[in-house]
Amino acid sequence: MTPRCVLVLIALVAAACSSAPPERQIVDDAATALGGADRIQALAALEVTGSGPAPNAGQNRLPDDELPVWQVSEHTRSIDLANNRTRVRQLREAQFQFAGATVQRVTQGLDGDVAYNVAPDGTMTRAGDAAARDRRVELLHHPVTIVRAALDPAAKLANPRTEGGEQLVDITTAKGDALTLAIDQSTHLPSRVRSMSANANMGDVAIVTTFSDYEDVDGVKLPRKLTTMMDKYLQFDLQVAKNTVGGNVADLAATTSVTSAPAPPPPPVAVTVEEVAKGIWWLAGSGNHRSIVFEFDDHLVLYEAPVNEARSKAVIDKARTVSSKPLTKAIISHHHFDHSGGLRVAVAEGLTIVTHRANEAFFKDLLARQHTIVPDALQQNPKPAMFEFVDDQMTLKDKSMEVQLYHLLDNPREGTNLYAYVPRERMLVQADLYDASWQQHLWGENVLTNLAQRKLRIDRDVPVHGVIEPFDQMVKTIKAKPTIAGTN
């Protein structure tokens, strides 16, 4: 070996010893860019205040329409970094027609592993473990928290790579949460954080928060814009009004009565059966999404497979107990996520899906999606879907039963809605047209106009939401409560 080779070798060894592995280098570079690892790790608290739109995925008029938006006028996230606590306070106002309170104050917190909610009157209650996990991961969708988590010696770093103008590294936190951090190749500031989540309707979704418009606050670089997407859907576009390093985070702890309470289990799924007419059953029980079963000569048809797989599977199982005839079809009233949450399990159960034609591409996409994080029945046992699409109307009829399906026309909120009418019983079966408990019936006049145009003589409303009522009462309630003019 020549002296020159020895020198080169020494230089190489020295370089190898002084530089961190590439996955660690990305995190170190990010920490340096944010203000230095020591500074980031010594931070006791952060507060982010701002405002921005928070769209509601799966609630648009048509599947490809713009999403209805909650405008968050006040957003404050306080983070007690030293004690691992956070609380988000929001004041939000519906920018769409909504049957509930259109101005809402939402306060949610996390104290270590304990998630809690605070009611407007200040009452604090414990939230479930799923909420705790979601909030813990959501908290990591900030440059400071993700870099601190990545600097934790118990974190695992892997798969360093360069894509476009970003360097990426996969992080498994000390708590076991998996996220990907992307940093800008030139500034080394965090540009994005990505985590995967299981959505009841969409299955595996990427939650990505993009950071931009960094400012310097007391020697720490903080983004003034945080934009969170769930796949293609915008979830929250936060324009920061003020970043505060430190601040008062004394009140973020959960009360002892909350921390000592057990985490509430997921809500139970109970399905009750009530025969509301010959060959027609109303399946209610827990929650406020009911389904209706119609008995034909040689088969049963379900109206509505709502909420999620658990609810809809329980409903399908219960529907199969009302008669020995096979359940063959599920009418899905419209595409809103709370009403189509049972689409996949209905297909997995071999049911033909009856729905408005405008849902075709959207439903086929939902059926094709991957559900690997929480494998559902269709993921485990794939089946081809069978559809019957309705345009303006369709009649299901044999000697035992006649059910007419009608498309709700010109409604400002419901573009794919199919309601049902049973002429023999003069019965209306509907979802989202009316719920007696709603605070306001903003599209009630449109509903009454639709029913009048179809020349339906209705005695009784058997709803997906709410209670069974005489039609007279439904009309009275709609007319008594204020409606916004010009919404037909």
DSSP-based three-state secondary structure for 237: strand
Among residues 74, 199, 89, 195, the alpha carbon closest in space to that of 142 is found at: 195
Beta carbon nearer to Zn ion, 295 or 432 = 432
Beta carbon nearer to Zn ion, 134 or 435 = 435
Per-position x/- string for 124-163, each x denoting binding to Zn ion as judged by CB under 5 A, each - no binding: ----------------------------------------
Point out which span in 35-43, 150-158, 340-348, 424-432 binds Zn ion (CB under 5 A): 424-432
Determine if 432 is a binding residue for Zn ion (CB under 5 A). Answer: yes
Beta carbon nearer to Zn ion, 180 or 340 = 340
Exposure b/e, 82-104, CB count within 10 A at least 16 = b: eeebbbbbbbbebebbbbeebee
Point out which span in 76-84, 292-300, 381-389, 428-436 binds Zn ion (CB under 5 A): 428-436
Q: Which of residues 265-284 bind Zn ion (CB under 5 A)?
A: none
DSSP-based three-state secondary structure for 136: helix
Task: Say how many residues touch Zn ion, by CB under 5 A.
Answer: 1
Beta carbon nearer to Zn ion, 432 or 461 = 432
Least gap, CB of 99 to Zn ion (angstroms): 9
Record the tokens describing residue 97, joined without a space: 């027609």
Beta carbon nearer to Zn ion, 80 or 432 = 432
Least gap, CB of 336 to Zn ion (angstroms): 6
Determine if 304 is a binding residue for Zn ion (CB under 5 A). Answer: no
Distance CA 363, CA 368 (A): 9
The CA-based angle 17-21-25, given to 5 degrees, is 110
Residue with the shortest CB distance to Zn ion? 432
Point out which span in 57-65, 70-78, 238-246, 430-438 binds Zn ion (CB under 5 A): 430-438
Point out which span in 2-10, 414-422, 431-439, 474-482 binds Zn ion (CB under 5 A): 431-439
Contact predicate 466/473, CB 8 Å:
no
Least gap, CB of 111 to Zn ion (angstroms): 33
Determine if 376 is a binding residue for Zn ion (CB under 5 A). Answer: no
Least gap, CB of 310 to Zn ion (angstroms): 17
Least gap, CB of 438 to Zn ion (angstroms): 10
Distance CA 259, CA 65 (A): 42
DSSP-based three-state secondary structure for 310: helix
H-assigned helices in 320-375: 337-340, 343-348, 360-368
Beta carbon nearer to Zn ion, 379 or 487 = 487
Task: Report in angstroms the alpha-carbon separations of 150 from 20, 181, 199.
Answer: 14, 9, 26
The CA-based angle 116-122-124, given to 5 degrees, is 25
Contacts of 238 (CB under 8 A, 6+ apart): 48, 50, 51, 52, 72, 75, 225, 226, 227, 228
DSSP 186: T
Least gap, CB of 435 to Zn ion (angstroms): 8
Beta carbon nearer to Zn ion, 29 or 432 = 432
Determine if 414 is a binding residue for Zn ion (CB under 5 A). Answer: no
Q: Which of residues 183-212 bind Zn ion (CB under 5 A)?
A: none
Beta carbon nearer to Zn ion, 148 or 336 = 336
Least gap, CB of 306 to Zn ion (angstroms): 8
Distance CA 241, CA 34 (A): 19
Binding site for Zn ion (CB under 5 A): 432
